[in-house]
Amino acid sequence: MSLKRIFNRAIGASLIAVAFNAALPAHAEEKPVIRVLVGFPAGAGTDNLARIYAEALSQQLNVTTVVDNKPGAGGQIAAAALKQATPESNTIMFAVDHQVIMVPLVVKNPGFDVKKDMVPVGRIVNFYTCLAVPANSPAHTFNEYLDAVRKNPDLGSFGIPAPGSQAQFVGYVVGQHFKVPMNPVPYKGAAPAITDLVGAQVPAAIVPCDGLVEYRKAGKVRVLAMAADKRYSAMPDVPTFKEMGLKMPADAFLAVYASTTLKPELLKQITEATRKMFDNPRTVEKFASTNMEAAYASPEELRAFVDTATAFWAEQVRKSNFQAQ
């Protein structure tokens, strides 16, 4: 066979293949891939919830979701990666409130601007911040804790997940309001702070309430109060600071943000799919299984809450003379 005939046959076969592939139904094509950034390690509470969300999003939109863990600097690395995302990367971020409220206030050059580089998609859950003491503490109530700290200022030391975390400024506000000395003891995460609390190596801690649930059930810690607008369903007998006359926008949350480079049509689809997740009882139950409370908020509601909280905590950062790192 001549080279010319071989060449012509090859071209003909290629044209047939192209025509065949063009005729394939849409479901035979590869699914779009959506990247979900998480600023914390695999297996952490934020990561677990992000994977529940990613699975639900995959089912809603018939897409492939890939959770991309970029831990470090309190979520700052993941937030900076969201800023740098390209339109083709289809990138969103499963964020904790610390990334969008506290990091811009306590870090000189965070590497991103919440208003310019992120688009709110929706809040997924609320979680709360608790003040707790070891089981052997003399304080059984918050008022007893205040009395003990006034008598012995050393008892005003409290563990926090990180320097510059909201927990540090919750303690500052508590100290100012109730006129007691409160001294933060920074840890590298909530887990080691809770470990030292359980072991009575620190006289108190201000940490996420969901991390205390099982220790409280086991009688290893005593939770005295929480920073929240309402009582936590897992600890309905624990009063809020609001009930004691101290109000602050301290409902912590996990929410979804998109890159500003995300294609508008995909952003619309993800936003609507996120809202619809809360119409599915099984999905809501999965969110709640993390000891956090499913609490959808629209993009507009989320933006408004972040603005209010940022203004409040910016004032506390200023008053406390915290030095941005």
Alpha-carbon dihedral angle through residues 247, 252, 258, 260, given to the nearest 10 degrees: 40
Arch. (CATH architecture) of 30-126+252-319: 3-Layer(aba) Sandwich (3.40)
Distances (CA, A) of 128 to 61, 111, 210, 234: 31, 27, 7, 11
The answer, yes or no, to whether residue 12 has pLDDT greater than 50, is no
Q: Greater confidence, 13 or 175? A: 175
pLDDT confidence band for 16 (50 / 70 / 90):
very low
Contact 109, 235 (CB under 8 A): no
The rounded distance, in Å, linking the Cα atoms of 87 and 319 is 41
CATH number of 129-244: 3.40.190.10
Whole-number pLDDT of residue 4? 40
Whole-number pLDDT of residue 119? 98
Per cent of the chain over pLDDT 70 is 91
Q: In this structure, what token pair is assigned to residue 3? A: 């080279």
Q: In this structure, what token pair is assigned to residue 307? A: 């603005």
Domains 30-126+252-319 and 129-244 alike in fold: yes
The answer, yes or no, to whether residue 27 has pLDDT greater than 80, is no
Find the mean pLDDT for residues 173-187. 97
pLDDT confidence band for 251 (50 / 70 / 90):
confident
Find the mean pLDDT for residues 143-170. 97
Q: Where are the domains of the chain?
A: 30-126+252-319, 129-244
Ordered strands of the 157-160 beta sheet = 183-186, 157-160, 205-208, 129-134, 221-227
Find the mean pLDDT for residues 260-269. 97
pLDDT confidence band for 3 (50 / 70 / 90):
very low
Q: Greater confidence, 160 or 250? A: 160
pLDDT confidence band for 74 (50 / 70 / 90):
confident
* pTM score of the predicted model: 0.85
Average pLDDT along the chain: 91
Q: Greater confidence, 26 or 59? A: 59
Whole-number pLDDT of residue 250? 76
pLDDT tens for each residue of 110-119: 999 999 999 9
Q: How many residues does the chain have?
A: 325
Beta pairing, strands 64-69 & 33-38 = parallel
The answer, yes or no, to whether residue 200 has pLDDT greater than 50, is yes
Distances (CA, A) of 172 to 66, 112, 160, 206, 268: 39, 27, 12, 11, 40
Find the mean pLDDT for residues 248-277. 95
Q: Greater confidence, 71 or 44? A: 71
Whole-number pLDDT of residue 29? 56
Which residues on neighbouring strands pair with residue 119, listed in sequence order? 258
